[in-house]
Amino acid sequence: MAEMTDDEIAWLAKLCRIKCSQERREQLRQDLHKILGYIEQLRELDTTGVEPCNHVLETVVNVMRTDEVGETLSRKTFLDNSPDQVGGMIRVPPVLKQKS
Amino acid sequence: MTDSICILSARELNRRFVEGELTACQITDAFLERIDRLDGKVKAFLAVYHKRARQQAKELDRKKANNEKLGPLAAIPIAIKDNMHVEGEITTCGSKFLTNYRAPFAATAVRLLEEADAIIIGKTNCDEFAMGSSNENSAFGPVHNPWALDCVPGGSSGGSAAAVAARFCPLSLGSDTGGSIRQPAALCGIVGLKPTYGRVSRYGLVAFGSSLDQIGPFAHNVEDVALIMETIGHHCAWDSTSLDTPPGKFQKALDGNLEGLRVGVPHSFLDDLEGEPRKYFEENLDKFRELGATVVDVDLDILRYSIATYYIIATAEASTNLARFDGVRYGVRSEKAKTLDEVYDLSRQEGFGPEVKRRIILGTFVLSSGYQDAYYKQAQRVRTIMIQKFATAFKNCDIIAMPSSPSTAFKIGAKQDPLQLYLEDLYTIGANCAGVPAISVPAGIASDGKPLGFQLVGPQQGDVEVVRIAAALASATGHTQLMPQLEG
């Protein structure tokens, strides 16, 4: 397949929310090119009429249960791991850039 | 005295405790002392639970003194790979992202061990988020193979494998998504089992590739694997893929009889196997024949495509599973973040190592619009073919034999190319794709002084048989008796 461009890597990095420096993007571009080159071999296989694998075991059944409140994590326990909290809620920086 | 306790099997330790020859405190102290003395060389552990383990031991000794009922794993120290939760303790997943994450609940597998009166001795080092085949991707440094300290132990469960090989504990838990229990078991000369998908609950295991992940045990003999599987193989209501059948009577099945067994070997797929790995593989097949088994050919050529298939499916699932690490609710949030977008972008940039970033980007690509059909859906179709080929193979044989890894342990730092490292999993990945149980047992020590592994693969839900056959073979070869010399 055609080599990926820096723009394409930048787009993927944006999709998965990982900030990447120019240098890092170039390294990723080269790595991905190599790996995708290897993965291309899957295209050789004739898979007409084969269903994509949904679940690895045929015996799986849907395991829905009745919608009843059971054991839950307490708010305090949950917040113990949060980086920043205020008034029993998780605090994050502004969603929009502040006009300074 | 210490080391004479540490070389004992899990069953023997439990027996000596139950019969009053050793106290739980004596057992625990012996292992903690050995870890403190020697883990500086191996670096298998990220956290050693000196206080917690001693408390558990004291409580057990009290229970015994009061004639209270004891669980089947009483007084056995067990190490846990650091991608599984022990309630109230840190789970790092080998990542900078989670250096401060304290687990608010226990993994089901860990809870079951504690209910069986096992002693959780600590958390072991692993490749970051279970992504790797050498334990070199940990944010906290590599693990050193107890057989050759300048070599890798394998990965991603390198710490759990090295800990058992070094006799820092008789049992440990690892996780296997593409070979991460079996390959390090092989490189460390011990036993490692990946159960059938769904056999052991994934609740409390930090997800990497949810359709592939499975928790499993490491031990230095197969009988101890049988013991622990009866405890951790229970159904779990918190994991919707958990099998709703009893764990299986692993211990009762151990009859050592291989007369009439049909061992399937995918000769064509193993065409490229040569040198000592080939020699040791053939020797183990000969041992099967000595014990009354026959070797038959099976067609698993489809496994040539297993690495490509796996690295599409696993990375796609990882890109989704690791999206939760966004710096908002838990984990290390970037101090430089001034906006919400920067919380995501910078926390992930700073928190994830290069291999994790590589796989997330690859996973994002194969799922992206325009490419999903060509890559992800195609990989899922090939996966269906793999499941069918394994099922067909098992019509003509009872168990399939393959090597566990293409070579012995390589030097730390020797393999820099990511693709080269992916190829280490050539023989193990197929079992994850097909959801079948597979075990690695020691195959012998190569001329470089390092172990090789022999892998047995069974049909779906054939875990008891796989362990039974492995135990019989291991008993005949004696390779599980071998241990590395760490002192001096």
Query: Chain B interface, mutation test: which of A92, A97, A100, most B Cβ atoms within 10 Å?
Result: A92
Q: How far apart are CA B423 and CA B430, in angstroms?
A: 12
Binding-face residues of A in 22-81 toward B, CB within 8 A: 24, 27-28, 31-32, 34-36, 38-39, 41-43, 45, 47, 50-53, 55-57, 59-60, 63, 65, 73, 77-78, 80-81
Contacts of A84 in chain B (CB under 8 A): 333
Contacts of A90 in chain B (CB under 8 A): 328-329
Residue spans of chain A under pLDDT 70: 1, 99-100
Dihedral (Cα; B163, B165, B169, B173), 10-degree rounding:
60
Contacts of A96 in chain B (CB under 8 A): 339
- Token pair for B334: 């970037």
Contacts of A3 in chain B (CB under 8 A): none
Among A32, A13, A3, A99, residue whose Cα is nearest residue B344: A13
Q: DSSP letters along B98-110, please?
A: GTT-B-SS--HHH
pTM of the model: 0.97
Is the CB of B361 less than 8 angstroms away from the CB of A84?
no
Amino acid letter for position B320:
T
Is the CB of A83 less than 8 angstroms away from the CB of B332?
yes
Amino acid letter for position B218:
F
Nearest-by-CA chain B residue for A78: B104
| Count of CB pairs separated by less than 8 Å, A with B | 161
Q: Active-site residue numbers of B?
A: 81, 156, 180
Specify whether the CB–CB gap between B446 and B187 falls below 8 A: no
Q: What is the pLDDT of residue B420?
A: 87
Among B222, B208, B240, B238, residue whose Cα is nearest residue B93: B208
Per-10-residue mean pLDDT of chain B, 488 residues long, equals 90 98 98 98 98 98 98 98 98 98 97 98 98 97 98 98 98 98 98 98 98 97 98 96 96 97 98 96 98 98 96 97 97 96 96 96 93 92 97 98 96 93 94 98 97 98 98 96 86
Q: Work out the end-to-end distance of chain A between its first and last CA atoms, rounded to an integer number of angstroms.
A: 47
Residue B94 burial (CB < 10 Å; 0-12/13-18/19+)? buried
Residue carrying structure tokens 């000595």? B290
Is the CB of A56 less than 8 angstroms away from the CB of B435?
yes
